[in-house]
């Protein structure tokens, strides 16, 4: 049996215009955007479609926007291929909420609201701290961990071989970039982000997110959903709550997550949501894996044709 996993985009994938042609080409998609607007009480669809970019990039808008576009892509896949099975799901950071919703653990409206709150809590944590992140290219994990310890920063994202992200106080990030280059990194570049995601500087968001999640009904997922924190599937609903709170300050073990799925016999992956970053990571991990994506009408049709 061909085993298929769905992958859902994370923050950083946002772009003005995302989801617009999906909504223009499908009453189903438009209805989901309208429902999201009603749930949140503001025009998230307009921000996704028209921007302005500065507003869409704000964490409190980017997170629900990316969640929504990923969810719409998933719904259009289900509408066009009702009998198409998927056997696991994973999502990069924020995308883990979309993966859990696709697997039936969270209801759409609940997930959208909590993702908006998560984004707001993280935005406020960014404003209260002077943090940043940097991508380190071409340096292995062990020497980069030495750099992190010496510089007082955190290894935040382990995305794929040779592509790691560090997070922490802005002045220490600059120092860590210099140290990483001295250790042999091909590049070490600060990222244009609001703060130090997946680091202790986000800790103030955790108790507030925990309170939001405590009030939500969470079911066991219908298919395995891989946790960013462990690189293995979530267990029971209580552990899902725990891991989603831990995820705010914990590293994202994305390569470990994909390698888990590969070891379980998954050979086909469908990235849902804006961009193709996860496809790029996948190909760096296993160039033989089949990678499809749904971000717009053209990629939807191409994926449907490949699946048929």
Residues designated as active site: 93, 198
- Which helix (H) or strand (E) segment holds residue 15: the answer is none
How far is 53 from 58, CA to CA, in rounded Å? Answer: 9
How far is 259 from 256, CA to CA, in rounded Å? Answer: 5
Query: What is the gyration radius of the CA atoms in the chain, in angstroms?
Result: 18
Strand ranges of the sheet holding 163-169, from the earlier edge strand across to the other edge: 154-160, 163-169, 131-137, 187-190
| Residue 288, beta-bridge partner list | none
Residues 44-52: contacts with CB under 8 Å, at least 24 apart:
44/68, 45/19, 48/16, 48/17, 48/18, 48/19, 48/20, 49/16, 49/17, 49/18, 49/19, 49/20, 49/23, 50/16, 50/17, 51/16, 52/16
CB 281 within 8 A of CB 160: yes
CA distances from 197 to 140, 157, 201 (A): 21, 9, 7
How far is 41 from 118, CA to CA, in rounded Å? Answer: 16
């Amino acid at each position: 049996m061909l085993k298929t996993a769905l992958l859902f985009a994370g923050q950083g994938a946002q772009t003005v215009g995302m989801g617009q042609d999906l909504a223009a080409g499908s009453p189903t998609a438009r209805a989901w955007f309208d429902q999201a607007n009603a749930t949140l009480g503001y025009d998230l669809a307009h921000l996704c479609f028209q921007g302005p970019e500065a507003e869409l990039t704000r964490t409190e808008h980017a997170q629900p926007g990316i969640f929504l576009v990923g969810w719409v892509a998933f719904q259009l896949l289900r509408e066009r291929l009702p009998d198409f099975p998927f056997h696991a799901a994973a999502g990069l950071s924020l995308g883990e909420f979309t993966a859990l919703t696709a697997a039936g653990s969270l209801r759409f409206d609940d997930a959208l609201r909590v993702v908006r709150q998560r984004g707001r809590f993280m935005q406020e944590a960014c404003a209260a701290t002077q943090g940043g992140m940097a991508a380190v290219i071409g340096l292995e994990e062990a020497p980069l961990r030495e750099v992190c310890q010496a510089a007082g920063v955190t290894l935040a994202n382990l995305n794929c071989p040779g592509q790691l992200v560090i997070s922490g106080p802005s002045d220490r990030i600059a120092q860590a970039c210099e140290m990483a280059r001295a250790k042999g990194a091909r590049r070490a570049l600060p990222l244009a982000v609001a703060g130090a995601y997946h680091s202790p500087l986000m800790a103030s968001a955790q108790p507030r997110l925990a309170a939001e999640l405590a009030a939500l009904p969470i079911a066991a997922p219908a298919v395995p959903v891989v946790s960013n924190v462990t690189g293995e599937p979530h267990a029971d609903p209580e552990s899902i709550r725990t891991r989603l709170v831990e995820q705010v300050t914990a590293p994202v073990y994305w390569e470990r997550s994909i390698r888990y799925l590969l070891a379980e016999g998954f050979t086909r992956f469908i990235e849902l949501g804006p961009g193709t970053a996860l496809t790029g990571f996948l190909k760096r991990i296993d160039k033989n894996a089949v990678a499809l994506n749904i971000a717009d009408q053209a990629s939807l049709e191409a994926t449907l044709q490949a699946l048929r």
